[in-house]
Amino acid sequence: MEEKIINSVSALPELFNCTLSGYKDRTVKARAWQKVSQEIGLTEDVCRKRWKGLRDTYLRERLKEAGKRSGRSNLYKL
């Protein structure tokens, strides 16, 4: 299930790429979440929550890894 959500969201950069104009447009994002919801077969709210959980877990792991290295400047270079 997580892999499906990751693949669906990664196909829609307006959901995660803050440099795009569509990132701040609520209508564009709402349509994108509808698309993800239809592909996954879950409600939009569940998809959003699962994506947020996956994203937060990823960032937490990146922080742990960055803490093991000298300096934290590499953390934000995704």
What sign for the dihedral angle of Cα 34, 29, 57, 74? positive
Name the token pair of 45: 């709210």
Beta strands in 1-78 (DSSP E): none
pLDDT, tens only, 45-71? 999 999 999 999 999 999 988 877 655
pTM comes to: 0.78
Q: Where are the alpha helices (DSSP H) in the chain?
A: 2-10, 26-40, 44-68
What mean pLDDT comes out for the span 20-33? Answer: 95
